[in-house]
Structure 1
Amino acid sequence: MIDSEITFRKLEVFLVFMEKLNIARTAEQLGLSSVSVHRALHSLEEGLRCPLFIHRGRNLLPLPAADTLQQHAIQVIEQMALGIQAAQRTAGFGEKRIRLGTLYSLTLETIPRLIMGLKIRRPSLELELIMGSNETLLSRLAAQQLDAILISTSDSFIDEQLYENLPLFKDDIYLAVPADSALVTEGTVDLRDFRQQKFVSLAEGFATYHGFQEAFQIAGFEPDIVTQVNDIFSMLSLVQAGVGCTLIPGRMKGVYADTVKLLPLAEPYQMRQTIALVFARSRERDPNLLALAAESRMYARSHPQKNG
């Protein structure tokens, strides 16, 4: 059993001393005091239960035991360094690639802005973009299949002991109807007036799904959902085609701007999504994630509130 006095740090001090054979120069290279170097060498001898050096005046001279330990300590430190690097690569730490999960709706403006800024900060970084629902992205982040995700945190539980949660902006929810529809009106709309209308929605697990259900509970009726889809662009295409109405975040206003009209909801139904960057706290010092977080903070400062 290895004595607790024998540590990697003390072995590193020992190896530098064996190269310099001078306590002051060893202390200078390691940024330590001479007393700390002397103490480390002495406690290493105690842990080994055998002498490594003899005193000649003010100097420490290595014994044969020190030469033997040096040979093995070099291998131990090199192997441990390789092990640390391998573990970091397995965890995705410091790779030249980052796997970023995002909602489909954020690919219009938010994702391009973040990617441009990230490439300026880390030009050699490759970015793999994976799109999905809130639920899917959270699950893949937990399974370490993604390095970071951009999601709506309004309806999702984020364990802040495990994850960093960096808000980027807030976005209001609107009722989307065909632009040429008789349903288009000035001012806010009351969902109770749409009891006879057909609706399309995102599938369960998507950011807008929970709010969709909650809004109609407040309105007091079950909407007639003719179909559910797995991406927000398909849902807007169905609205454009007159298949049904839907609830949608304001950031989608630019899509089909001439054919789909976004109507503000009356006060009882008003909802707001918080879009945030989420990643594991255990990786908060990863240089790639530090760069992504810095770029996200810049984006947040330029978008204090995003109401459509």
Structure 2
Amino acid sequence: MDLDVRRLRVLYEVALRGGITAAAASLHVTPSAVSQQLGQLAREAGCELVERSGRGVVLTPAGYVLAEHAKQIINAVEQAQAGLAALRRDVSGVVRVGAFPSAAGVLVAPAAARAIARHPDLDVRVVEAEDQQSRLDLRSGTLDVILLQEYDHVPTPLPSDLDRHPVANDPMHLITPVGWGRRSGRLGDLRDARWVASAEGTPCLRSTLHACRLAGFEPDIRHRAVDFALTLDLVGAGLGAALVPGMALRTVPPTVHVEPLVDPVTERRIFAVTRSRGAGPLRPAIAAFLAELAASESR
């Protein structure tokens, strides 16, 4: 039984993404092409790997077994390539980086520029990506590095097949309309204020709620905004106060007052994530970018 590694990657994408259509989008091919590859792999394996379920497909027990082995094979190939590149000390090739907007602008873009200047054969490509999608893209190999965030009291656990690389700490700031005149940096002074906060289920919202509760009150949230630029505009219009990380404060409207949060002190931590390298080295191109990224906070 000879199994094609490229077809194993297709099966792994279907398992990871939860269906043929999503896998096809990730692989930049048509759904029919994915179906054809799965059919050929099934013939090679001698058993059915997917079966119909409603309007889509699900993996069969054999499909799940083979997808798990496919993941291990893909990782082994990548580690072999990294080991050979490390022997050559070859800092070249493409590194694809996914990051959420505030980190992409403040950390990733300058680090990418420095890495390229230091290593002319290196090609760093940046994609704006939110947490859940970027994790899938990292595990599938579409991205090589992603940036994630976690707030105080809202940890971001990682599975064992991903490695964490600390990058920066980003203190939270209290922003209020200029006309309010409340500038102590203490949440307790705003217990009777209106608030602007992030959407339900987001780490930023959970961090805001926890900080306010530490200060002894439940915030009166009147407005919701995921985009920090919109949060600043809502606060600037006099509609409420908000907690915002420092990296989101590069452009502040003149109608917004910014104060470091001093009670309770709260921050978010930003870290890079790569696929686990096991006992082997990182690909030199990825290591070179991470080195520049780690140097960002000291600049």
TM over 0.5: yes
Cα deviation 1:164-213 (Å, max 9, x = unaligned): 222122121111112x222432x432x23323322222224545232112
Matches within 5 A, 1:34-73: none
Cα deviation 1:4-56 (Å, max 9, x = unaligned): xxxxxxxxxxxxxxxxxxxxxxxxxxxxxxxxxxxxxxxxxxxxxxxxxxxxx
- Distance in 2, Cα, partners of 1:265 & 1:297: 25
State the Cα distance separating 1:226 from its structure 2 match: 2.5
For the 8 Å contact 1:103–1:134, the answer to whether it is kept is: yes
TM-score (norm 1): 0.58
For the 8 Å contact 1:201–1:235, the answer to whether it is kept is: yes
Partner of 1:102: 99
Distance 1:146 1:188, change over 3 A: same
Does residue 177 in structure 1 map to residue 176 in structure 2? yes
CA RMSD of aligned residues (A): 3.4
Matches within 5 A, 1:95-134: 96-134=93-131
Partner of 1:271: 266
TM-score (norm 2): 0.60
For the 8 Å contact 1:138–1:149, the answer to whether it is kept is: yes
For the 8 Å contact 2:138–2:146, the answer to whether it is kept is: yes
4+ residue segments displaced more than 4 Å: 91-95, 204-207
Matches within 5 A, 1:131-170: 131-154=128-151, 155-159=154-158, 161-170=160-169
Does residue 258 in structure 1 map to residue 245 in structure 2? no
Distance 1:176 1:99, change over 3 A: same
For the 8 Å contact 1:150–1:277, the answer to whether it is kept is: yes
For the 8 Å contact 2:232–2:253, the answer to whether it is kept is: no
For the 8 Å contact 1:134–1:207, the answer to whether it is kept is: no
- Distance in 2, Cα, partners of 1:136 & 1:222: 32
Matches within 5 A, 1:287-298: 287-298=284-295
User: Which of 192, 204, 208 pairs up with 2:204?
Assistant: 208
For the 8 Å contact 2:160–2:276, the answer to whether it is kept is: yes
Query: Quick one: percent identity of the two aligned structures?
Result: 25
Partner of 1:230: 226
State the Cα distance separating 1:116 from its structure 2 match: 0.9
Q: Secondary structure at the match of 1:282?
A: coil
Q: Secondary structure at the match of 2:192?
A: coil
- Distance in 2, Cα, partners of 1:228 & 1:152: 20
Q: 5+ unaligned residues in a row in structure 2: which ranges?
A: 2-72, 86-91
Q: Which structure has the greater CA radius of gyration?
A: 1
For the 8 Å contact 1:198–1:225, the answer to whether it is kept is: yes
User: Which of 194, 199, 202 pairs up with 2:195?
Assistant: 199
Matched residues, number: 214
Cα deviation 1:199-251 (Å, max 9, x = unaligned): 22222454523211211222343322223223222222222222322101123
Distance 1:140 1:228, change over 3 A: farther
Distance 1:124 1:242, change over 3 A: farther
Q: Give 2:116's aligned amino acid.
A: K
- Distance in 2, Cα, partners of 1:177 & 1:139: 37
Partner of 1:221: 217
Partner of 2:15: none
User: Which of 234, 238, 245 pairs up with 1:242?
Assistant: 238
Distance 1:184 1:220, change over 3 A: closer
Cα deviation 1:67-107 (Å, max 9, x = unaligned): xxxxxxxxxxxxxxxx99xx65xx99989433312122123
For the 8 Å contact 1:114–1:299, the answer to whether it is kept is: yes
Partner of 1:77: none
- Distance in 1, Cα, partners of 2:200 & 2:225: 9
- Distance in 2, Cα, partners of 1:242 & 1:139: 39
Distance 1:160 1:122, change over 3 A: farther
Q: Secondary structure at the match of 2:235?
A: helix
